[in-house]
């Protein structure tokens, strides 16, 4: 890794910065988004499907809902439209 042009200090050509958080445009922001979403979903009684770690399921007496995470997108499916709508509204308020 090299320092950006114009930011190289004489005698410190081999020193680079350590990022404390992800920056948009790098490969890691998607991973950070996924890890944050994963923690949030597990708190809300969604459980990860063992065959595919990007698919989460929540079963209630009202129905079942499937939530799929892909890069920085979410796909919802289920057999109860009210549950899907409630989940969409909740996610849009939390994941902004």
The residue behind tokens 């849009």 is 92
What are 12's strand-pairing partners? none
Task: Tell me which residues of the chain have a pLDDT lower than 70.
Answer: 1-4, 17-30, 71-72, 95-96
pLDDT at 82 (0 to 100): 93
pLDDT at 20 (0 to 100): 65
pLDDT at 63 (0 to 100): 93
Angle, CA 42 vertex, CA 36 and CA 44 arms, to 5°:
110
Residue 55 · residue 43 · CB < 8 Å: no
The pTM of the full predicted model, rounded to 2 decimals, is: 0.60
* Residue 40 structure tokens: 């949030």
CATH architecture of residue range(s) 28-94: 2-Layer Sandwich (3.30)
């Amino acid at each position: 890794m090299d320092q950006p042009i114009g930011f190289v200090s004489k005698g410190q050509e081999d020193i680079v910065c350590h990022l404390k958080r992800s920056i948009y445009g790098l490969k890691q922001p998607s991973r950070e988004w996924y890890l944050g979403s994963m923690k949030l979903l597990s708190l809300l009684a969604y459980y990860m499907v063992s065959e595919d770690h990007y698919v989460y399921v929540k079963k209630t007496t009202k129905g079942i809902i499937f939530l799929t995470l892909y890069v920085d997108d979410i796909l919802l499916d289920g057999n109860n439209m009210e549950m899907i709508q409630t989940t969409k509204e909740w996610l849009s308020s939390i994941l902004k």
